[in-house]
Copies of this chain bind each other. A is one copy, B any other.
Amino acid sequence: MPLIVQKYGGTSVGSAERIKNVAKRIVETQREGCHVVAVISAMAGVTDNLIKLSREMSADPDKRELDVLLATGEQAATALTSMAVNSLGVKAISISGAEAGILTDRFHTKARIANISPKQIQELLEEDYVVIVAGFQGQTAEGETTTLGRGGSDLTAIALAGALNADACQIFTDVDGVFTCDPRIVGGAKKIDEIAYDELLEMTGAGAKVMQSRSVEFAKKFGVEFEVRSSFKPARGTLTKEETANMEDVVVRGISLDRNQAKVTIDDVSDVPGVAGRIFSTIAEAGIIVDMIVQSVGKHDTTDISFTIHENDLDSAKKLLMPVIEEVKAAGLVTKGGVAKLSVVGIGMRSHSGVAARLFDCLGKAGINIQLISTSEIKIAVVVDERDAERAAQLTHQEFGLAALAPTSAATRPLGS
């Protein structure tokens, strides 16, 4: 009998009514002849409420206790889901992350999975139970409850699907799948049927908020295929998997936009070892996340270093860097907020030449100035002015033929051409 691991997020179990719908879907899957393991998140709002309470106890609540506290959210949701499945006449049982055999390291509130021994789940499946697992949580070797941090329930599902060698892993969420671009920006954005791990990773890193990178990385590492789909609609979603030969037929899989970015440029840095390290360690120590880093050749043994950060971090970055500028004898610091990063992602780029030129040409013709460029094997990212960002996404989406229905014509071609 095939085994399906399903994951239902907080909005999917956000009310009694929704939990009952989830139970129905679980029962349908089981009645189609599958074993089902369902990973459940806390009901929407519950975790936030618990965090709020914890902050009233202490400005910096003990992390071990925070994990005990937060784990109750998933525990309650699994018990309720199990009751709902039971009441539909199907045997179900709820288990904690610890009982699911999810062993983690000791980093409370952001533990990493160290090992999985899903023996108890396997025994319960053999007894024909639907097994309802509390997502987002695990246990240390010492028996302490831990939580897995943001996106933890996705990780639980993918890790269990891998450990159980499941036939399918379905991530039910409040979106229909992964789109060629954010549909709120590009009207003709289309749901992607299949995407390679690396493509989703580049899009996730570039601001597409379907999944956390770590879950995708975990899936890639252990070869776990998973489908992101809506818990409110019956339609299939997006299957993420190892790349296949025919995936390369599509040059660009999708486009992501990262807004509220800032660009920082340090001019005429001495081109000697250690300088870049000095700059970026200063930034990193302040907990500021640096995204693109571009180093260009300057004059007379000097170089320009540019990078992007979130606009909110710009003021502190400036303050931190001023003394460093002097120290490394750079000519100056130029910063610019109000920019956006546009990323064009596709494994087809490897085999298709001229993608970058086509992108630059498309933006150039529209009078959109490119302020920074960075490329990986399967991604081209450009920084443009925030006020050009949406137009840039729309034009690029059209240029690479991603639209579901061609609004204008010539530049658009069907997916896969």
Tell me, yes or no, whether A212 is within 8 Å of chain B by CB. no
- Chain A residues 195-214 with CB under 8 Å of chain B are none
Q: Given contacts A50-B76, A68-B75, A76-B72, are A57 and B93 in contact (CB under 8 A)?
A: no
Residues of chain B within 8 A (CB-CB) of A66 are 79, 83
Residues of chain B within 8 A (CB-CB) of A69 are 75-76, 79-80, 83
Residues of chain B within 8 A (CB-CB) of A72 are 72-73, 75-76, 79
Residues of chain B within 8 A (CB-CB) of A87 are 57-62
Residues of chain B within 8 A (CB-CB) of A82 are 62, 65, 68
Residues of chain B within 8 A (CB-CB) of A19 are 57
- Chain A residues 40-94 with CB under 8 Å of chain B are 50, 53-54, 56-62, 64-66, 68-69, 71-73, 75-76, 78-80, 82-84, 86-87, 93-94
The size class of the interface chain A forms with chain B is: 35 or more
- Chain A residues 112-147 with CB under 8 Å of chain B are 143
From the candidates B56, B58, B64, B86, name the one contacting A62 in the complex (CB within 8 A).
Answer: B86
Specify how many copies of this chain sit in the oligomer: 2
Q: Given contacts A54-B80, A57-B20, A80-B54, are A86 and B65 in contact (CB under 8 A)?
A: yes
Q: How far is the CB of A66 from chain B (nearest CB, A)?
A: 7
Tell me, in angstroms, the Cα distance from A20 to B59 when the chains sit together: 13
Q: Are the C-beta atoms of A84 and B68 separated by less than 8 Å?
A: no
User: 4 tightest CB-CB pairs across the interface, nearest first?
Assistant: A58-B87, A69-B79, A16-B56, A72-B72
